[in-house]
């Protein structure tokens, strides 16, 4: 390195950063344990086991989508969001258990009576403003959508009329990125929590 400036930059880059709280490492291991419980042990990773897992994921998604229409009974009226178990009456116990541990159904609701279109964008759909539209109830004119989400934290916001991005007024938490921008936070627990 040629000069003092470069040495100082290098020294600053080598300095540790205080990332998150003491739980950051614990959260890594929580994900590892969850993963270990949901899939075959890493030592047994074979073409056969990988194919098996893919079929379970496919079923999981299918159940998430198919279960949406049966959800109204578990969503409290007027509630901001609620999570329930996946209906899996037609599935075997083993698969149903896997599904419950893998995805939770979460309903998001949004009041925007004048809006022509509302969608939700978030980590779960690559921040696409079109992939996950909300549907307006004909009588209450309230917008809603039910999502099948993995346990953990999810960041999202609503997209009104394809142009205006707003955080969820019902969200318990929001976070501001380092650049000052804000989004809503949603924590999905495991069904067994």
Partner 1 sequence: MSDRAIIQQVLAGEVEAFARLVDRHYARCARIAVRILGNHEDAEEAIQDAFLRAYRALDSYEHRERFSAWLTRILVNQCRTALARSRRRDAVFADLDLRQAHFAIEAAPDDGAWPELERVLARLPAEQREAIVLRYADDLTYEEMSRITGAGESALKMRVQRAFARLRALLQEVPSV
Chain residues in the site for partner 1 (CB under 8 A): 4-6, 8-10, 12-20, 24-25, 27-29, 31-33, 35-36, 39, 41-43, 45, 121, 123, 126-127, 129, 155, 157, 159, 163-167, 169, 171-179, 181-183
Q: How far is the CB of 87 from partner 1 (least distance, A)?
A: 29
Q: Is the CB of 30 or the CB of 95 nearer to partner 1? A: 30
Q: Which residues pair with 109 in a beta bridge?
A: 144
**The residue to which tokens 């142009």 are assigned:** 163
Residue 148 Cβ vs partner 1, minimum distance, rounded to whole Å = 20
CB of 73 to partner 1, least distance (A): 29
Collect all residues with Cβ–Cβ distance below 8 Å to 60 and sequence separation of at least 6. Answer: 98, 99, 102, 103, 148
> Could you tell me which residues are beta bridge partners of residue 111?
none
Q: Which residues contact 167 (CB under 8 A, 6 or more apart)?
A: 157, 158, 174, 182, 183, 184
Nearer to partner 1, 141 or 173 (CB): 173
């Amino acid at each position: 390195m040629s000069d003092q400036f470069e040495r100082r930059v290098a020294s600053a880059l080598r300095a540790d950063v205080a990332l998150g709280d003491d739980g950051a490492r614990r959260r890594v291991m929580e994900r590892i344990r969850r993963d270990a419980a949901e899939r075959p042990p890493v030592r047994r990773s074979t073409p056969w086991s990988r194919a098996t897992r893919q079929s379970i994921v496919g079923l999981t998604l299918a159940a998430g989508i198919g279960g949406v229409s049966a959800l109204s009974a578990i969503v409290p009226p007027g509630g901001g969001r609620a999570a329930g178990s996946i209906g899996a009456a037609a599935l075997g116990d083993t698969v149903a258990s896997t599904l419950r541990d893998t995805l939770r159904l979460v309903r998001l609701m949004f009041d925007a009576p004048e809006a022509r279109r509302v969608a939700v964008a978030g980590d779960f759909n690559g921040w696409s403003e079109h992939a996950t539209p909300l549907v307006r109830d004909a009588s209450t004119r309230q917008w809603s959508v039910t999502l099948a989400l993995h346990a953990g934290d999810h960041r999202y916001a609503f997209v009104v009329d394809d142009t205006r991005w707003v955080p969820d007024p019902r969200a318990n938490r929001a976070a501001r990125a380092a650049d000052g921008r804000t989004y809503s936070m949603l924590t999905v627990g495991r069904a067994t929590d």
